[in-house]
Amino acid sequence: MALNRKKRKQVGELMSSKKYPILPLQEALNIVIAGKKAEGIRERTVTDYIKTWGYFTEWMLNNYENVQTIDQITTEMIRNYVNYLKYDAVRYTGHKFIDSSKQSIGLKETTINIRLRVYRSMFNHLEREELIEVNPMDKVRQLKQDIDLTNCLSDTDVKAILQQPNQRNYVGFRDFVAINLLLDSGLRISELVNLKAADIDFSTRFITLNGVHNKNRRPRIVPISAYVMKLILHLITENEKHFRVDRIFLSTYGEPLAANQLNKRLKYHAEQAGVEKKKVTAHVYRHTWAKNMILNGCDAFTLQKMGGWTDIRTMRRYIQMDISDMRSRHDEFSPINNLRKRKGGV
């Protein structure tokens, strides 16, 4: 039942009389982090929150030195920060491995959107807890991003890359197994480097991911081919000869392989293979797996289940076809071409 005018006025007066705390910027961050930890987010995500909030507050203090509390932040300030990131921020500033002369101006839309998602999550949390009256992120939208149609490896690229690892030494063979597994399963890099022998049922050829290292924490099973299963068994056998670690992918010293270490190896092999103008990471292999699964006839719902996407719309971004794929699929399924074939040509 709709409120009458008198009651609406009373509710409005009650809301306007609510007192909100004055929170310094650091205290607001501490409250959000404590709440997020209670919700069970990963420690890595906590670190990302702290680092991303630090970027923003550092810029704020340099440009709005009078802003000391969370309630002083406005939508206009956040939009000004976005413009700074787009047009003035120095990419890779202070990076010890990147020549300062090669550093470019302006961050990519993807990077900016990642930061905006963090800020939105933080302000939404403060709003839900009734610690701020106005949410400055309400009217801030994500930047539009162009869909990259070149974020997959071609068959030629893959063949060239697979010829690079020296399978006669441990590191080379480990890399060879990792590349094959990425192309066969679509595993995320965190899922692959944390993989244990106990996670694989070698009789049914299924990998069981219990959710601890999954992006969305949802457990799932992933099938692998007989060929890749044999490669993994061989690698496990090599590990057992020298190490006492239950992880499958290890360093030469028997330590668990880190995600950034593997990505560096993937980049190295791609460069050796002459794959240019592509940022080759484990995520690109995941794109390549998804795209080729679709091209080879896998239905979207099965792919979604194997890849672990919660939203099929997210998955669709991974399977963009390039021009040659579109041409070959058109020629294969064109009604005119099929009609001509049935009639023996026109």
Q: How far is CA 286 from CA 152, 187, 242, in A?
A: 8, 7, 31
pLDDT, residue 346, reads 45
3-state secondary structure of 108: coil
Neighbours of 275 (CB within 10 A): 20
pLDDT, residue 1, reads 44
pTM higher than the cut 0.85: no
pLDDT, residue 103, reads 62
pLDDT, residue 80, reads 96
Taking every pair of C-alpha atoms in the chain, what is the biggest distance, in angstroms? 84
Regions in the chain scoring below 70 on pLDDT:
1-17, 92-103, 146-150, 211-217, 313-327, 329-330, 336, 339-340, 342-346
Cβ-based burial of 64 (10 A; exposed 0-12, middle 13-18, buried ≥19): middle
pLDDT, residue 324, reads 60
Q: Tell me the DSSP string of 230-291.
A: HHHHHHHHHHHHH----BSSB-TTSPBPPHHHHHHHHHHHHHHTT--SS---HHHHHHHHHH
Residue 107 contacts by C-beta under 8 Å, 6 or more apart in sequence?
85, 86, 89, 91
